Structure 1
Amino acid sequence: MEKQLTALALALALSSTANATELTVISYGGVSKTVQTEVFYQPFEAAHQAKLIAGEYNGEMARIKAMVDTNSVNWDVVQVESDKLVRGCDEGLFEPLDTQRIGKVADFVPGTLSECGAGLLVWSMTMAYNADALTDAPQGWADFWNVTKYPGKRALQRGAKFTLEAALLADGVPQEQVYKVLATPEGVDRAFSKLDELKPNIQWWEAGAQPMQYLAAKDVVMTTAFNGRIFAAEQSGAHIKPVWGGSIHAIDYWAIPRGSKNKELAEEFIASTLTPEAQKLHSTKLGYGSVNLHTAELLDKGIAAQLNMAPQNIKQSLAFDNEFWIDHGEELEARFNAWVARG
């Protein structure tokens, strides 16, 4: 009889596992996916009768659009950049969220909860340098452009976004005026003229790991980089330092592709990643800012000071303007690509 009960219990357990709902979550891979698996995915699986399938992509909206248009959606939650979230929401690619199931607006950084997305993290495009190579620390974008005082190559992400803002900041445009200036033909010309000055000294990067590699090899004296990459380099003992003045910050979001068969479970998953405790682990291990305002009180003070959301760092930062890049991004990227191709 005891053997029969044991066999029955095992059968029920196997049946339960087989019947568990599968939730597919897509992020950007790499170190981010490794950390998210540890601090988000595994705890959610343990707390729910669900099997979480972790995937990755490079942010291609065309893949989401193809799934939605053909009614073949097999992703339940996807990480998207802020401007892509707005565009995708307008195009009907994402499910409207029941934000009451996710949390209270007052608990989060402004802009965290929107019609189709819930913010996951605050990241910054930040200047960085190798302190072993530069004893005189650069202070901002004017120094980035100053090849007389700081001879050598600089690395920039190959794209108009962030690059044009940096060029105007280097040319003396106040942070609060950057997007107003860049919205004019004269402002665009001014940004590209400033880039002309630096062009012979630019080494482009396209993958997030490249800036730290360039600095470590001393191929460049300064670079732009995702602040989480700088944090990881610092944690590993490298003498890589951020320059927070003129950094540009934005929110990455979780969104649910329209047509997901697991919308409610997906919202439960999103909510579980936005608690102060989950956000603390995420920030501590990955180095990106938390969207939950109650995370700061849980963080080690040394770690908190290294994050982009530390008060002394974020006050020096420019907020990325989603609407500007939705309105002007296509034309500016086309002009940028043509400018790069001219050599």
Structure 2
Amino acid sequence: MKKLLLICTTCAAPSLALAEGQIEVLSWGGAYTQSQVDAFNIPFEAETGIKVNMVDVDNPATPLMAQVKANNVTSDLASVGFSDATRLCDEGALIEIDPADLLPAPDGTPAADDFLEGALSDCFVATDVYSTIVAYDESRFPDNPPRTLADFFDVEAFPGKRGLLKEPRFNLEMALMADGVPAAEVYDLLSTPEGLDRAFAKLDTIKDHAIFWEAGAQPPQLLADGEVVMSQAYNGRIFNATVDEGKPFKIIWDGQIFEVEGWVIPVGAPNLDQAMDYLKFSTSAESLARASMQISYGPPRQSSAPLVGNYKDTDIPMPPNLPTSPENMGNALGFDNDFWVDHLSQLNERFAAWLAS
């Protein structure tokens, strides 16, 4: 696939710069959509003349599947999580995307060798890496701040309430890592009765100190209101609360659990060629680096990392605030969608029973 071309009024051969039309993109809304507008849409429209119409929904996978089932596809791309992309692809709702068609790295490295492991699949191209982390209010620990995931579970050395997600996912993984299990061994151990017992036993140690949350906006608010001193949270929410609202929050990257989300194209996309042009443009190393300067999600391409600068128009460097920065990945765990597809129903029941006990 040729690289995107700059506008050239004298070129005889057709190019993306001379394309016309419009595409519809399903996304998540808020700061996330705005980061895509700034990093992808504005330069893409200037480059190609193709208008990008963003439609924000709670979970783009849901209306996308409905469109395909109704044989009335109006959207050309959607931003979805990896697990939804896998499910939709298995159900035949998405077109397959050949990594060889994606733009290479600036040094010519093929995209397939440049994207991080797990960032590409048959029907999916990642655009960002985000994580579930532990954050704390540094004003509550002025002399001896927590530094590790184990500290989150140590209510004697670090007293106070903890915010926990009200479901087994992330809790079981973090419990084992806090109990000394290396990230690489977590899911193998969770696949055994002994591993599950060990995870729930670790959760028992903070159950009486826990406040459970269900929506991503809750942890920063719980911290700000003083209801908890530490909480599991999504890294982007904590970054925004710290930078945009001046909250005294800090992230513990030890034991972070990272995930990817990215683009899929539905079968029957009305503007397939333009959608592919947009997908290729927005997943270039340069575009993904621009996105990571708009929101604190890491780029899924290795070649993007050295291109990431400061947050928007500030003097705040973004690399230390990204899940993918080397200093933040020392004990990171990649979320295993396959494990949870196989075990979620069973573990939801056990977690509910644990909550009620």
Shorter-chain TM-score above 0.5: yes
Query: Do 2:20 and 2:50's aligned partners in 1 also have CA atoms closer than 8 Å?
Result: yes
1:212 aligns with 2:220: yes
2:170 to 159, 162, 182: 162
1:149 aligns with 2:164: no
In 2: Cα distance, 1:97 partner to 1:130 partner: 43
In 1: Cα distance, 2:161 partner to 2:197 partner: 23
In 1: Cα distance, 2:98 partner to 2:181 partner: 40
How many Å apart are 1:20 and its aligned residue? Answer: 5.5
1:324 to 324, 332, 339: 339
1:310 aligns with 2:325: yes
Distance 1:334 1:266, change over 3 A: farther
In 2: Cα distance, 1:105 partner to 1:263 partner: 22
Alignment gaps of 5+ in structure 1: 1-18
Amino acid at match of 2:95: E
Aligned length: 324
Distance 1:85 1:337, change over 3 A: farther
* 1:199 alignment partner in structure 2: 207
Range 193-202 or range 110-119, more displaced: 193-202
Query: Do 1:83 and 1:325's aligned partners in 2 also have CA atoms closer than 8 Å?
Result: no
Query: Do 1:120 and 1:252's aligned partners in 2 also have CA atoms closer than 8 Å?
Result: yes
Amino acid at match of 1:280: A
Taking structure 2 as the reference length, the TM-score comes to 0.84
1:22 aligns with 2:22: yes
Q: Sequence identity of aligned pairs in percent? A: 37
Amino acid at match of 1:85: A
1:290 aligns with 2:305: no
1:228 aligns with 2:236: yes
Taking structure 1 as the reference length, the TM-score comes to 0.87
1:243 aligns with 2:252: yes
Alignment gaps of 5+ in structure 2: 1-18, 104-110, 311-316
In 1: Cα distance, 2:289 partner to 2:157 partner: 40
How many Å apart are 1:52 and its aligned residue? Answer: 1.8
* 1:120 alignment partner in structure 2: 127
How many Å apart are 1:61 and its aligned residue? Answer: 4.2
Query: Do 1:102 and 1:268's aligned partners in 2 also have CA atoms closer than 8 Å?
Result: no
Distance 1:90 1:114, change over 3 A: same
1:267 aligns with 2:267: no
Residue by residue over 1:126-155, the C-alpha shift from the partner in whole angstroms, topping out at 9 and shown as x without a partner, is 111111122221122221112222222111
Query: Do 1:101 and 1:267's aligned partners in 2 also have CA atoms closer than 8 Å?
Result: no
* 1:94 alignment partner in structure 2: 94
1:184 to 192, 205, 222: 192
In 2: Cα distance, 1:309 partner to 1:62 partner: 28
Residue by residue over 1:273-326, the C-alpha shift from the partner in whole angstroms, topping out at 9 and shown as x without a partner, is 122322222111201111122222222383212222111111221111122122
How many Å apart are 1:171 and its aligned residue? Answer: 2.6
How many Å apart are 1:255 and its aligned residue? Answer: 0.9
- SS at the partner of 1:207? coil
* 1:129 alignment partner in structure 2: 136
Distance 1:78 1:60, change over 3 A: closer
Distance 1:333 1:61, change over 3 A: farther
How many Å apart are 1:96 and its aligned residue? Answer: 0.8
